[in-house]
A and B are shown apart, each in its own frame.
Chain A
Amino acid sequence: MAAAAVLRKNGTALRLRRGLVSVIGLLVFWEIGRRLHFPFLSAVPAPTEVIGSLDKIVGNSKFWNDWISSFSRVLSGFALAQLIGIPVGLLMAMSRTLRYLWFPPLEILRPIPPLAWVPTSIIFWPTTELSIIFVIFLGAFFTVVLNVLGGARAIDERLIRAARSFGSKPRDIFWRIVLPATLPSIITGMAVGMGVTWEVVVAAEMIAGKSGLGYFTWASYVGGNYPQIIIGMASIGIAGYVSSGAIRFLGKHATPWQQRI
């Protein structure tokens, strides 16, 4: 049918339009709510106020330094978590002994929220920076290990059998079967881990930091500069989204054989 065909061709356009309508509608509702003093909304600075503060902020170099601070912490902690977590996960997947040995202690430590480690971390590490990075590391580490372990253990046994029937040595099996097959899980673990990382960084900066986007948001609140809070929140959201997006993008290229939903 002609109508159905047209609709299908413009499917994405239609979805985009609908999405735009709802977002703009929400912004308008927010603005009105603030102006007309709706019960909960009236306390939140309106979109127009936020945009008004924007040019003051964007010109301020300290704001961009906060971006750099947060990003550098995120990257350090995240990279560390991957460097240690991926090998640990792979080792646990391949060696039953190590798995039985390490899994219980990990399962005991994992439910402790990373932020609960902040005071211990501060006591232990000489600088605030290191203590924040450590907490970030913890947050991402467990995610990584779990995803890698899960992915490696889920490899179809038949693939490994096929490789062995070709006369592969354990080294070959690892590099040519296990690693590529686990790669999608590693990427997923990274993307999720990145999300966790930003959650932790923001909170850690609010609690114990003196720079960074989390600190910026909190300081804006304490200093009574409310529109800046929204700018801070939006910045963090964008930063997190861009980071996760970058990982997924790199991931897609690293695993061209995967068809994503």
Chain B
Amino acid sequence: MTTVAASGAISIRNVSKIYDPGGANVLAVDNCTVDIAPGEFCVIVGPSGCGKTTLLNAIAGFHDITSGQIELDGKPICMPDFTAEPGADRIVVFQNGALFPWSTVLNNVTYGPVVQETSSSSEAKEKAQTLLAELGLSGIGDRYPNELSSGMRRRVEIARALINDPKVLLLDEPFRAMDALTKGVAQEFLLQAYDRVRKTVFFITHDLEEAIFLADRVLVMTTRPGRIKQTLHVDFGRPRNYKIRSSSQYLALKSQIFEAVREEAIRAFEAGERELA
């Protein structure tokens, strides 16, 4: 059941970003270069404030970059004097969730298709019901987000993104605010959804275990200014089972990444970094 995606290749070339809050030139991201293949699950790890969210925001189209270039399937989407409008080809799932509190689950999920006018309202509703059922979320269509648990809310948000058939899924520490148990279940859910659709995923986290469990490739970022310090390939096959967390291969990878990240974490701690964007 693994279909390789035909599109969704992201190419990040020599990207740097300088912030100017109050006149202090802050170099957030320093000369990053990464090529992400279509359908690849790519995870970036790093301490708070290292610039990983900046990178994600640039891909999504919320920020510009100071130098370098980002391309999606060969088309430039971010350059120093041009930033493509955020769109449904690269949808973001946000850290604390962004389900519209004033809409029901169904209206949230059908938002994309309805607004882009790619299907009629009733078609969209049918598609949404089917998708929700496939993702194990049937029966909650008429609920409001604040009636759901955080785990369910995050899953609905992923459904809201997937219904638009985006080329890329951008996830900005989506499970950060969850307790460890819910987080584990949410991760498995994400992997199941990923196995189904095989979209390119760009995932940010500071949780090392999460990174290894989910990723095809883990990129370690230094503390500010953010550079790609190390790349690790994760070769577990798919679909993945939670049992791999206790395998020796997993533990070896973990200690590898841990060494790399630890230095950066200590540096960040001492500098008192905070997320810029």
A and B associate in one complex: yes
Within the complex, which residue of A1, A5, A8, A9 is in contact with B81, where a contact is CB–CB below 8 Å? A1
Asked if A1 contacts B80 (CB within 8 A), the reply is: yes
Task: State A1–B64 Cα separation when bound (angstroms).
Answer: 8
Task: State A4–B66 Cα separation when bound (angstroms).
Answer: 11
Q: B23 — nearest CB in chain A belongs to which residue?
A: A9
Question: Which has the most chain A C-beta neighbours within 10 Å: B20, B23, B64, B66?
Answer: B20
Task: State A108–B23 Cα separation when bound (angstroms).
Answer: 55
Closest beta carbon of chain A to B24's beta carbon, Å: 12
- CB contacts under 8 Å to B, within A44-73, are none
What are the residues of chain A within 8 A of B81 when measuring CB–CB?
A: 1
Closest beta carbon of chain B to A113's beta carbon, Å: 34
Within the complex, which residue of B20, B64, B66, B80 is in contact with A8, where a contact is CB–CB below 8 Å? B20
What are the residues of chain B within 8 A of A8 when measuring CB–CB?
A: 20
What are the residues of chain B within 8 A of A1 when measuring CB–CB?
A: 64, 66, 80-81
Main secondary structure, interface of A, reads helix
Closest beta carbon of chain B to A14's beta carbon, Å: 17
Interface size class of B (residues with CB under 8 A): under 10
Task: State A5–B23 Cα separation when bound (angstroms).
Answer: 9
- Extra inter-chain contacts (5) besides given A1-B64, A1-B66, A8-B20, CB under 8 Å: A1-B80, A1-B81, A4-B64, A5-B20, A9-B23
Mask for B17-31, Cβ within 8 A of A = 1, else 0?
A: 000100100000000
Closest beta carbon of chain B to A45's beta carbon, Å: 46
Q: A3 — nearest CB in chain B belongs to which residue?
A: B81
Closest beta carbon of chain A to B82's beta carbon, Å: 10
What are the residues of chain A within 8 A of B80 when measuring CB–CB?
A: 1
- CB contacts under 8 Å to B, within A1-57, are 1, 4-5, 8-9
What are the residues of chain B within 8 A of A5 when measuring CB–CB?
A: 20
Closest beta carbon of chain A to B102's beta carbon, Å: 23
- CB<8 Å pairs between A and B, sample of 8: A1-B64, A1-B66, A1-B80, A1-B81, A4-B64, A5-B20, A8-B20, A9-B23
Task: State A26–B20 Cα separation when bound (angstroms).
Answer: 36
Q: B66 — nearest CB in chain A belongs to which residue?
A: A1
Closest beta carbon of chain A to B19's beta carbon, Å: 10
Mask for B70-103, Cβ within 8 A of A = 1, else 0?
A: 0000000000110000000000000000000000
Mask for B56-69, Cβ within 8 A of A = 1, else 0?
A: 00000000101000
Closest beta carbon of chain B to A258's beta carbon, Å: 20
Q: A5 — nearest CB in chain B belongs to which residue?
A: B20
Task: State A4–B80 Cα separation when bound (angstroms).
Answer: 12
Task: State A1–B82 Cα separation when bound (angstroms).
Answer: 10
What are the residues of chain A within 8 A of B23 when measuring CB–CB?
A: 9
Task: State A4–B81 Cα separation when bound (angstroms).
Answer: 11
What are the residues of chain B within 8 A of A9 when measuring CB–CB?
A: 23
Q: B83 — nearest CB in chain A belongs to which residue?
A: A1
Q: A4 — nearest CB in chain B belongs to which residue?
A: B64
Task: State A9–B25 Cα separation when bound (angstroms).
Answer: 13
- CB contacts under 8 Å to A, within B213-245, are none
Task: State A251–B23 Cα separation when bound (angstroms).
Answer: 30
- CB contacts under 8 Å to A, within B1-59, are 20, 23
Closest beta carbon of chain B to A46's beta carbon, Å: 44
Task: State A36–B116 Cα separation when bound (angstroms).
Answer: 50
What are the residues of chain A within 8 A of B20 when measuring CB–CB?
A: 5, 8
Q: B80 — nearest CB in chain A belongs to which residue?
A: A1
Task: State A1–B80 Cα separation when bound (angstroms).
Answer: 7
Task: State A5–B80 Cα separation when bound (angstroms).
Answer: 13
Closest beta carbon of chain A to B167's beta carbon, Å: 26
Closest beta carbon of chain A to B120's beta carbon, Å: 40
Mask for B124-153, Cβ within 8 A of A = 1, else 0?
A: 000000000000000000000000000000
- CB contacts under 8 Å to B, within A232-249, are none
- CB contacts under 8 Å to B, within A97-116, are none
Question: Which has the most chain B C-beta neighbours within 10 Å: A1, A5, A8, A9?
Answer: A1
